[in-house]
Structure 1
Amino acid sequence: MAWLLIAAPAHAAVTMTFWSHELGNSFPHAFFTLRGTPDAGGPPIDTSYGFTARSLTPAILLGTVAGKLEVGARGYIASSDARFSVTLTDAEYGQVRALAAAWDAKTGDSRYNLNQRNCIHFVKEAARTIGLTGLDHPKLMKRPRSYLLAVAAANRAAITTIDLPGKAYLATLPPLAPVQIGATAIPN
């Protein structure tokens, strides 16, 4: 019986963490990270997605401008605040990746509008994609921290609350398992 437990594959999953970065010269202000290994297997994932204007000029105050999907640098993530996380099914993970592709200039629609299609709108759609509720907060669509705290409050049973500075939260994460290819392990 013990050999059955040893031979069973380890449980793996991708965790989606929602972050806010308060006002400053760095964008996006609301974004999410994906970290872990899909249950179906494959290489570990450790990435982030945010949405911002391609150029930070006064034009963003006047209407629609070119936008871009952005993968945050580790230092930017560490200087942000981790708000909450959700463990994704492989189907949800696939849907989130499809959403990111739909907002990417290379594969989808990358229009940015401060009032109608900004970083918080992107995070809102990602949250909707994974089944979170209580997402409509029109007065908070330019306030990343307040928006994510409102979403967390509406979804207490479906999320894991974090509310830690990024550097402290990142320090709690275990290393990702190396990918096994044949008999060779590839470190992260």
Structure 2
Amino acid sequence: MGRFLRIFAALLALVVAHPALAEVTLSFHSFNGSVLVGRYPHTFVVMQGTLDDGTRINENYGFSAKSAGPAVLRGPVEHVVMTEKQKYITSTNRHFSVQIDDAKYWAIRREVDRWRNAPGKYYDLDTRNCIHFVGAIAKLVGVKVDYPQDMLRRPKMWLNHITGRNPQLGAKPVD
């Protein structure tokens, strides 16, 4: 019995000393936007949580034209990977979230860097906009994605469409 208690105590010490499992939540957001208020409809991702090494994560990424103007309508323009202030994020539509591990987190960060560091004029309203950026990230975490032509400039509608294509997310469309 004494040996059993020593083994049990050793196992209990390992369990208690082991840090809680790390977890990062990846959320998919849209912003309704309006030409009148100076912000166009937009979609972006938010990552919050803790990595396995204890690093706290509170990051967000979206993809946009470096400057808005008529040139955006004519073809590729300079791009930017942008981040939003927390007060802005709380006023957006959160469509769905998924839990990711460290490997997925770092894969997403590499994808963000790939878009950020793309050479030349990489933003294109019809082929490489915020929807395509968020779609690339969604694919990395196993979300089924497509890009219906009539939704390429309507982020909220597009994320609602993606929600419908992925019932495993347990999410409902945002009104």
Tell me the residue number matched to 1:9.
19
Q: In the TM superposition, what is the alpha-carbon distance from 1:38 to its structure 2 partner?
A: 1.6
Q: Indicate the SS of the match to 2:80.
A: strand
In structure 2, relative to structure 1, the CA distance for the partners of 1:33 and 1:44 (3 Å cut) is: same
Q: Please, what TM-score do these two structures have when normalized by structure 2?
A: 0.83
2:30 corresponds to 1:20: yes
Structure 2, unaligned runs of 5 or more: 1-7
Q: Please, what TM-score do these two structures have when normalized by structure 1?
A: 0.78
Q: In the TM superposition, what is the alpha-carbon distance from 1:129 to its structure 2 partner?
A: 1.5
2:138 corresponds to 1:127: yes
- Tell me the alpha carbon deviations over residues 24-74 of structure 1, each in whole angstroms, 9 at most, x when there is no partner: 2225710000111123x1421101000011011111111111010001111
Q: Is the 8 A contact 1:49 1:71 kept in 2?
A: yes
2:103 corresponds to 1:74: no
Q: Indicate the SS of the match to 1:115.
A: coil
Q: Indicate the SS of the match to 1:72.
A: coil
CA distance in structure 2 between the partners assigned to 1:164 and 1:15 by the alignment: 19
When the two structures are aligned, how many residues end up with a matched partner? Answer: 161
CA distance in structure 1 between the partners assigned to 2:158 and 2:76 by the alignment: 22
- Segments of 4+ in structure 1 off by > 6 A? 162-165
2:94 corresponds to 1:85: no
Tell me the residue number matched to 2:77.
65
Q: Is the 8 A contact 1:17 1:33 kept in 2?
A: yes
CA RMSD of superposed structures (Å): 2.1
In structure 2, relative to structure 1, the CA distance for the partners of 1:48 and 1:160 (3 Å cut) is: farther
Q: Is the 8 A contact 2:135 2:145 kept in 1?
A: no
- What is the percentage of aligned positions where both structures have the same residue? 33
Which structure is larger by alpha-carbon Rg, 1 or 2?
2
2:60 corresponds to 1:55: no
In structure 2, relative to structure 1, the CA distance for the partners of 1:97 and 1:126 (3 Å cut) is: same
Q: In the TM superposition, what is the alpha-carbon distance from 1:5 to its structure 2 partner?
A: 3.3
Q: Is the 8 A contact 1:19 1:82 kept in 2?
A: yes
Paired AA for residue 152 in structure 2: M
Structure 1, unaligned runs of 5 or more: 166-188
Q: Is the 8 A contact 2:27 2:95 kept in 1?
A: yes
Tell me the residue number matched to 1:95.
107
- Which of 149, 158, 162 is the aligned partner of 1:138? 149
